[in-house]
Amino acid sequence: MFNNKRDFKNEFERRLVEKYGRNVADADITEKYDILGEMVRDFAGKDWRNCREDILDNGKRQLIYFSMEFLIGRLLLNNMQNLGIYQVAKEGLADYGININDLEDMEPDAGLGNGGLGRLAACFLDSAASCGYPMHGNTIRYEYGFFRQKFSHGKQVELPDQWLSDGFVFEVRKPKHAIEVKFYGNSETYLKPNGEYAMRLVNYRAIRAVPYDVSVIGHGNGVANTLRLWSAEPSNKRLPTDCSFNEYLQTLKELSFGLYPDDSTEHGRMLRLRQQYFLVSAGVQSCMRGEARRYGDLKQFSKHFVFQLNDTHPILAIPEMMRLLMDEYGWGWDDAWKVVQETIAYTNHTVMPEALEKWPVQFVQKLLPRVYMIIEEINRRFNQYLVENGVNPADRYAMQIIKDGQIHMTNMAIYAGYSVNGVAAIHTEILKSYTFKSFYQLFPNKFSNKTNGVTHRRWLVYSNPKLAELISSRIGESWIHNAADLNKFAKYADDEKVQKEVMAIKHENKVAFANFVKTAYNIDIDPDSIFDTQIKRLHAYKRQLLNIFHIMTNYLALKQDPANFKMVPHTYIFGAKAAPSYEYAKRIIELILAVADVVNNDEQASKFMKIVFVENYGVSLAEKIIPASDLSEQISTAGKEASGTSNMKLMMNGAITIGTLDGANIEIADLAGRENEVIFGLTADEVQAKVDAGNYNPWNVYNSDIRVKNVLDSLFTGPWAIKHGDRFRMIFDEVMNRGDQFFILADFNAYCEACKRADEMYLDKKKWAHASIMNTAMSGHFSSDRTIEEYNRDIWHLEKITPKK
């Protein structure tokens, strides 16, 4: 399409005229962005075709990665860099007086995800393409994303995320690949022409699932995979007779409306179940239809496909695959079950049994009657297997798929799939020894660990280009393709010149973020202060509350004895969304905002601390915050965080971790050196021991530590409570009267001491620079390239794509 600046400009001008009837000078910035996006999308079209041909011509196995979310962020810059056309486009646009950064800023963050689960999935797609493996994502085309967060009157307000209001230039609608998904109805037995009996679903409500495909472009290797977004539309074959067309359209709109509907109501929970089934049914049907069209049958299906279920949400793929093979393709149970066992792999993301997904039996019976029948039969056969293998009654009960009126989805996934993996070393060990102990004893070979990773090209090369250039100037560019080579940078950890350069780049990034904060929030922050960052989904176990309690402690100490108060100046940066129905998390956000309002408007306190809570935290904001951060807050209750990925991104950009021995923090500290991180708090074993003993009482801490008493009391009487009455009573009650479930007070003193150690470390500039360089140098292990290679070696067994040149 274009290989040089002249061809780029000719193509850009031609498309503007043909689509909008305008020349470059007259075109609106939205039109210029749209044309540039189309050119980038179409530039990858040839790679898309070549990769598809290589896969099909050579019968290569493909991975379908089912995830309810893919937090892909913006694609324009990432795709141009991966295609190697960024500089050509930048220079060509500059000839017209167009700053390419202005066009990049026109792109909204895609509303396809919320937290670490979705960002992990997006990193995996990026790395799989860059490593050359045929991996394709499947999710729903959410019309309004999760929600757009706004702070109003000190509270989180949820607004629609209208990310599709101007279209999504990188998607291609493919109606010829549409699938019919069936809900409700009833099952009936019928006699086939060959004299055998079979089951079929009748009187069902059909919904048309239409795919929108987005190319996922590898870095400089000619590989383009696919992220498929399924959208719900009216069936063009079977309209409902049991409801009005308007009611039917409302059902469709709900399916694709937004990510994670409010599950505090029965309607919301049922909608979540409908979304999950809609996704996996469309995805599995599409693969089976393509396989049957190409080969005439599904005999080689498990040779050509593997399905990775990212968390519990896509587990309905198991009974749906059985339904399709038996009811639509005429297979028997044993043959169908063999295919399921050869193609399904499951990734677990939580160690907390209460967080594992369970569905009321009546929900599935009503919405998916045939699928429920199959789940019942899976459960019956599993129980028969358990009895035959002498499993004791207690373990049998623990592993039941259907019990107490609920379907335990994870139990079905572990039984049916051939692989179960955790996402950090400690997380996997807890799964084996506690959460799924009975399953591990029965199926030890199914379990493995695959520590998460993030794509270092996006989170270091593109997000922090000056640091990337410095690294390449010392060790060459091989690390961009092979992240393990980053460890070569460790030899410069004590090089004074490199230390100064690294710290100068960090300061420049901090100035840029300070300017953004001033423009966006009218808050002045000091680039010479410690940028102390906690950016992650708001949840009690992630302990944003511990962080704000420490800030409140410092403020109260300042006001009590201003003459003798000392601390290294900090800018505390928060970024988090709370689920709309998670009232406790929303109350923590209100507390942070209330404290920020007091601290930021107190002239005395402002010399020592400022608080910035960014609105609507997402990928684009992370790309501004992470390169500027000095300290990475990873302070979850030990044993509760599966892995974490913000810890990895911050590490790559030279931030020092202050954290518990939880998730991937352990591996970060082991690799970069414990002396280069600030570790504190109870271990996972110590937490579990306290839980088992049942003798932890937060009132003992309250009565023995005046700082704790002052902070808790200030929830009613402090300056942040004046405008709010007893608004923070819920937080007090959760900590003091409900047993402090996540051990905030138990770790409070250790956290305060750790913060002091971090401050002392920061004052020793050489020591801090050494630690920063070591973190960056050793972060190559946490590239998702490494994770993908491990998944493929042990689970997927994919052959690399070799597209035509």
Q: Which residues contact 724 (CB under 8 A, 6 or more apart)?
A: 154, 590, 594
Residue whose entry in the numeric block shows the structure tokens 């998730």:
663
Provide the H-helix boundaries in 534-677: 544-560, 583-600, 603-606, 619-625, 646-652, 665-672
**313 token code pair:** 């949400």
Amino acid at 541: Y
Positions annotated as catalytic residues are 349, 536-537, 542, 645, 649
Listed residue (688, 641, 701) closest to 117, CA to CA: 641
Q: Are 653 and 460 in contact (CB under 8 A)?
A: yes
Provide the H-helix boundaries in 179-332: 245-255, 266-295, 301-304, 317-323
- CA–CA separation, 715 and 747 (whole Å): 19
Q: Are 216 and 126 in contact (CB under 8 A)?
A: yes
Nearest 10 degrees: CA dihedral of 70, 308, 133, 467? 40
Nearest 10 degrees: CA dihedral of 505, 506, 509, 513? -170
Residue 265: CB atoms within 10 Å: 11
Print burial letters for 167-198: b (CB count within 10 Å at least 16), e (below 16): ebbbbeeeeeebbbbbbebebeeeeeeeeeee
- CA–CA separation, 669 and 661 (whole Å): 9
Q: Coil, strand or helix: which one is 110?
A: coil
Q: Which residues contact 442 (CB under 8 A, 6 or more apart)?
A: 386, 389, 391, 395, 399
Listed residue (348, 360, 181) closest to 273, CA to CA: 360
Listed residue (480, 453, 459, 512) closest to 654, CA to CA: 459
- CA–CA separation, 568 and 532 (whole Å): 11
Q: Are 788 and 131 in contact (CB under 8 A)?
A: yes
Q: What is the DSSP letter of 113?
A: -
Q: Coil, strand or helix: which one is 135?
A: strand
The DSSP bridge partners found for residue 309 are: 66, 346
Rg of the chain over CA atoms, in angstroms?
Answer: 27
Q: How many residues does the chain have?
A: 805
Residue 254: CB atoms within 10 Å: 17
> What is the helix (H) or strand (E) element at residue 6, kind and residue range?
helix 5-20
Listed residue (770, 779, 767) closest to 502, CA to CA: 770
Q: Are 376 and 402 in contact (CB under 8 A)?
A: yes
Residue 101: CB atoms within 10 Å: 10
Q: What is the DSSP letter of 465?
A: H
Q: How many CA atoms lie within 13 A of 42 on its CB side?
A: 12
Burial class (CB in 10 A: 0-12, 13-18, 19+), 524: exposed
Q: Which residues contact 271 (CB under 8 A, 6 or more apart)?
A: 254, 255, 261
